[in-house]
Chains A and B, each alone.
Chain A
Amino acid sequence: MPTPGAAAAIEVQDLGIRYNLRLTRRTTLKNSLPGLVRSDDGTPKHFWALRHIAFRVEHGESLAVIGPNGAGKSTLLLALAGILEPSEGEILTHGRVSTLLTLGAGFEVELSGRDNIDLVAAFLGIDHREMVSLAPSIIEFADIGPFIDAPVKTYSTGMKARLGFAIATAITPDILLLDEVLGTGDETFRARSQARIRELIGKAKAIVLVTHDLTYVTEFCSRAILLERGQIIREGGPAEVTELYRQRVTERKLLAEAESQRFAEAPAR
């Protein structure tokens, strides 16, 4: 157990992430949660994807974040990764953060695989000397043979995914943020990537995992948070929280079925 008062790996205090709807081009948020977006005059201006979120992840802990689509899980991960700046509250982290959101992100198709390793590493802010020492193991893990010196545009989807995965998992972070990337590529590579993730999970001092797959929650995580509509509904042991989530999913399904039945009967009258 962590000593009381010691710095947590992650400490989130009254976090709020607000989207300005007039400026948001992508409509994913509007689509997923239209009912929430109402201000006084009826025209939606802001949307709180997350509000009043507070939790701690101690060193050695792994936290699962579960919840229905549009609950704010991915937004939370983006905020923890520093990609989204909090509109309210604070996020404090202690150690090197890595997110596996980055599979194949930032590839330049005209450049070779080798050059892309340098480029993505530079985007990630990995020190050049460190990257030079990591490159051989990345190339070995990606296992794409002579293609490493060919432009990425000649790669198959699987090769791209493998190289992306190899780069993303090359550094051993203190804090690992995972967003359902536990399976990539073909059968053999999937087995190897699973092993790599387990290795990273073993080495990381703290983990936050966002997932729909509840088996991961009970297998990997020591604690879980249930998010709904941008708020924490329950925080506790993985078994307890997943059970509550299942209940709520079933309830919602029953409600939806009753609703659609009423709708189906309506024209008959």
Chain B
Amino acid sequence: MPRANLRPLMTGSSTEALASPHVKTAQRSVLSLAIEGLRDIAQRRRLIRYLVGADLKRTHADTIFGQLWWIFDPLLQMAVYVVLVQVIFQRQIPDYPLFLFAAILPWKWFATTINDATMSVVNRQTLIRQIQFPKVVLPTAAVLAGTVSFGIGLIALGIVYVFYIHRLSPWILLIPVIAAVQLVFTLALALSLSAMNAFYRDVQNVMRHLVRLWFYLSPGLWTIHEIRDPTARLLLSLNPFTPLFESYRSVTWGMQAPDFGGLLYVLIVSGLLLAFGLALFKRVEPAFARIL
């Protein structure tokens, strides 16, 4: 029976959706799965763009200020931490609001994105049982929507600088570079978490608390230079958010170059994690329609 021109089945597929061969997913290597995941993302760029747009419209849709909350929110959070650390704990760090800001906005981006992305697959369970599409677009869109909001939130940084103009240096132009490293790390984590959460909803509950603990273990309210114990310092510097926070702080508050070595370390770790996350996601993707 001639079968050469039979193609794998895809719902409503046009030619672009037909790339994946119908090989049993379980038998494929990490690398080929990761590459296929990247190809899914590239091929469904338009879908991801629409999803990002929908996401941005949805968040704060019923609030008066809408997207402006991405600007107000970090400012208000900054005020809370200033009261907590400077008034209650009596710690004196010059220009502390700006010092804090280096951590608040990137962390808000990370925390909301991880939360949204973790839920992204289960939130679409009805659709997953109705249409065949590469599910990897869901966490990817959640991460990118968070990134746009982070971009909007940078306006808040501009507002803070009105009061600390003497701390402004050309190094702040490197914020996008630091953010790019954080983006890769976030995406890698988001893919793994969203896939695992489809099987065990416990993931979303655990992550909420882990993310909070993670913030206090990262040099957001304090700096790594305050840690004297060498072992503790070494352990803390393994945390990807140590180089990230310190780098943000260097360019916004410290008027100096970011920790390039540290960023490279995070980038390498994130790259490996991304390959693993993509492969894990692609590996379990066929099961989503079955278990959701």
Contacts and interface: CB of A to CB of B under 8 A. Distances in A.
A109 to B, nearest CB: 8
Contact of B14 (A90, A115, A126): A126
A83 B130 contact: yes
Contact of A123 (B2, B16, B131): B131
Contacts of A122: 44, 46-47, 50
Nearest to B25: A85
Interface residues of B, number: 44
Given A83-B11, A98-B11, A5 B50 contact: no
Contacts of B58: 108, 110
Nearest to A109: B58
A124 B12 contact: yes
Contacts of A124: 11-12, 131, 133
A83 B129 contact: yes
B9 interface: yes
B51 interface: yes
B11 A97 contact: yes
Contacts of A78: 129, 289
A116 to B, nearest CB: 9
A80 interface: yes
A126 B17 CA distance: 9
Nearest to A84: B289
A94 B3 CA distance: 10
Contact of A81 (B11, B53, B199): B11
Nearest to B285: A85
Nearest to A105: B130
B6 interface: yes
Contacts of B130: 83, 99, 101-102, 105-106
Nearest to A49: B290
Interface stretch (A17-25, A196-204, A206-214, A242-250): A17-25
A143 interface: no
B61 interface: yes
Contacts of B133: 123-125
Contact of A5 (B2, B10, B11, B14): B2
Contacts of A24: 290-291
B13 interface: yes
A118 B51 CA distance: 10
A126 B12 contact: yes
Nearest to B24: A85
Contact of B12 (A23, A91, A97, A128): A97
A20 B198 CA distance: 14
B44 A111 contact: no
A179 to B, nearest CB: 10
A23 B199 contact: yes
B126 interface: yes
Interface in B130-176: 130-133
25 contacts: A7-B6, A11-B6, A19-B291, A20-B290, A82-B8, A83-B289, A84-B289, A85-B289, A93-B9, A102-B12, A106-B130, A108-B57, A110-B58, A115-B50, A115-B53, A115-B54, A119-B50, A119-B51, A125-B14, A125-B16, A125-B44, A126-B12, A127-B15, A127-B16, A128-B46
Interface of A: 5, 7, 11, 17, 19-20, 23-26, 78, 80-85, 90-94, 96-99, 101-102, 105-106, 108, 110-111, 115, 118-119, 122-128, 130, 171, 173
Given A25-B201, A98-B11, A108-B54, 7 more contacts: A82-B8, A84-B290, A91-B9, A93-B9, A94-B5, A98-B12, A99-B11
